[in-house]
Amino acid sequence: MEMDQLFSDLLRLLAGIGVFLMACEIMSKNLEAISSDKLKSLFSKVSGNKLIGVMIGALATVAIQSSGATTVMTIGFVNAGIITLSQAATIIFGGEIGTTITGQIVALGMFDPGSFDINILFSSLAGIGVFINMFAKNEKKKLLGYVLAGLGMLFVGLNMMSASMRGFAETEGLKLFLARIDSVVLLIIIGALITAIIQSSSAITSIAITMVVAGLIDLNQGIYLTLGANVGTCLTGLLAGMKSESVNARRASLIQLIFNIGGVILVAVIDGLIKMSSSGTMSFSVMFQRMFPGIPHTQLAMFHTFFNIASVILVLPISDLLVDLTKRFIPDDGSQLPKQRFFFVDENMIATPAIAVSQVKKEIINMAMIAIENFNLAIEMILNNDLSKASLLEDNEDELNFLNHHLVEIIVQLTRKESISKKDYYFLTSTYRIISDLERIGDYSINIKEYAQNIKDEGGSFSEEARKEIVEVRKLINELYQVTIQIFGSNKRKLIKEAYKIEDQIDDLTRKMAQNHIRRLSKGECTANLGAQYLKLSSDTERIGDHLININDKDYVISH
């Protein structure tokens, strides 16, 4: 009979863990979608100030309910060269503080005022959230409904885990077995291994809290299981770092591992010394039992928060030394960055769509800069009859082709993410043609370079009048580019009319260029070959103007 009950409790525990993890996933995705704009703004404030880095890491982890996701996202920023390794370290430290919020929520849900089960109240949020989602018209309200439903499910899962623990507590054999596991090292290893398997330190911390409350383990055992969970959560970051080509990305993942293992070792040593000096009458567990008497769930949750905050306070002043240490462990391998690469996007960012979308936008702006640079290089070749920078133009063209292909792949993956907001989704779907437009500007610039080569091979040159027209159309194209970037990058909608006005001027000028060319040709002022190159040049510049104005013609982009 006891075995039947034990088996039922085991199934109840598995069900509770499943519901708990699913709840965390639902909360994470929808909190991220709700706070997408705030997350983008948050990471734009990364600076050399260490406290700001810690704050960003903590707030980001609270927003997306996953220190692992924060670490992976940070590794992506390092890999893309957007933040330094020192900045990444402070964000990772902050993430360790932010991850303790789940334990505090669990402890709050287990609070027993005596007359009312507060866990039931929190669990009811699951139904309330679903009803809000069903009847709300506003997208953010629907997302809020999902967040509340996820929070409610978290307590449903917690309730199931607690019930299973109470059942286990009635099994004397199991209690005796667990009581024998008093090795600090073994408890840390168990916590680390289970966390590495289920990829959630919050779940292990919550299970430890329910075990302490049920009396299956004591507070000291719960503390070291939780410390082990801190170590096990590093696996996500390590995997992201190790598969990265960036040396600094690998170093960032190692920083988290050293930070967590170092903190665990320090606590274990200090705890051991306290026990020795007090003949076993004092320890961290005794301290927290005295600070929060009679509420074991709060004792463990508060220890977890205290430990992570204290670790950050201790390490922050010497974080640069920690960065230098990782550089010794993982030295520069002498490899150079590939010629064709992303400048703002990294695949690790896909795990956090809100951040990845803002980086995609920056990558597109960078692509536009490369495209207009190639246009200007090609025009200089025409005007100066000098092709010395042809190799730079061709390298830029290779980069444009790379971005045209691989950036689209990133965008496709992002549009498939469930947590992406509608606003970000519509923005991304509007970028496919923009990327194509920019790649075509690069193609026309290559054409212009080839016209310059033909003219140089022939030994000819354009007339002074023709050169002035080329300078004028170049000026208008650059003006249109500047306005376009302001509309796309800064959402300056009032400039749309100005963009169309400039585009009309480009159309008028290129028509004038064609008419003037026919007049010069009839007067014998230029050769047939030069005239052909000039006509192609005027046609290509007109099309470049068209592709730039196309970028402004995307309603979703402008509203993003």
Q: What is the pLDDT along the chain (560 residues), one digit of tens a residue?
A: 467 777 888 888 889 888 888 888 888 777 777 777 777 777 767 777 888 889 988 888 887 777 777 888 888 888 777 788 898 899 999 988 988 888 888 888 776 665 456 778 888 888 999 999 888 888 788 888 988 998 889 888 888 888 888 887 777 777 778 778 888 899 999 999 988 887 788 888 888 988 898 888 899 999 999 999 988 888 877 877 777 667 888 888 889 889 999 999 999 999 999 999 998 889 999 999 999 998 988 999 999 999 999 999 999 999 999 999 998 888 876 555 667 788 888 887 887 888 888 889 999 999 999 999 999 999 999 888 888 999 999 999 999 999 999 999 999 999 988 778 888 888 899 899 999 999 999 999 999 999 889 888 877 777 788 889 999 999 999 999 999 999 988 777 788 899 999 999 999 998 888 888 777 767 666 666 677 788 888 899 999 999 999 887 654 444 44
What does the alpha-carbon distance between residue 105 and residue 221 come to, in Å, rounded to a whole number? 21
Between the alpha carbon of residue 198 and those of residues 102, 132, 330, 400, 497, the distances in Å are 16, 31, 28, 41, 55
Other C-beta atoms within 10 Å of 316: how many?
18
What does the alpha-carbon distance between residue 193 and residue 190 come to, in Å, rounded to a whole number? 5
Q: Which residues of 392-406 are buried (b: 16+ CB within 10 A; e: fewer)?
A: ebeebbebbebbbeb
What is the rounded radius of gyration, in angstroms, for the C-alpha atoms of the chain?
31
Any long-range contacts for 121-130 (C-beta under 8 Å, 24+ apart)?
A: 122/151, 122/152, 122/155, 123/152, 123/155, 123/156, 123/159, 124/152, 125/149, 125/151, 125/152, 125/155, 126/151, 126/152, 126/153, 126/155, 126/156, 127/152, 128/152
Nearest by Cα to 363 from 399, 398, 394: 399
Residues of the chain with CATH 1.20.58.220: 351-559
Nearest by Cα to 255 from 92, 368, 22, 457: 92
What does the alpha-carbon distance between residue 245 and residue 333 come to, in Å, rounded to a whole number? 11
Tokens of 113: 């005022």
CATH number for domain 351-559, candidates 1.10.357.10, 1.20.58.220, 3.40.47.10, 3.40.50.360: 1.20.58.220
Sorted by sequence, the CB contacts under 8 Å of residue 531 that are 6+ apart come out as 517, 520, 521
What does the alpha-carbon distance between residue 407 and residue 197 come to, in Å, rounded to a whole number? 32
Tokens of 413: 């993956």
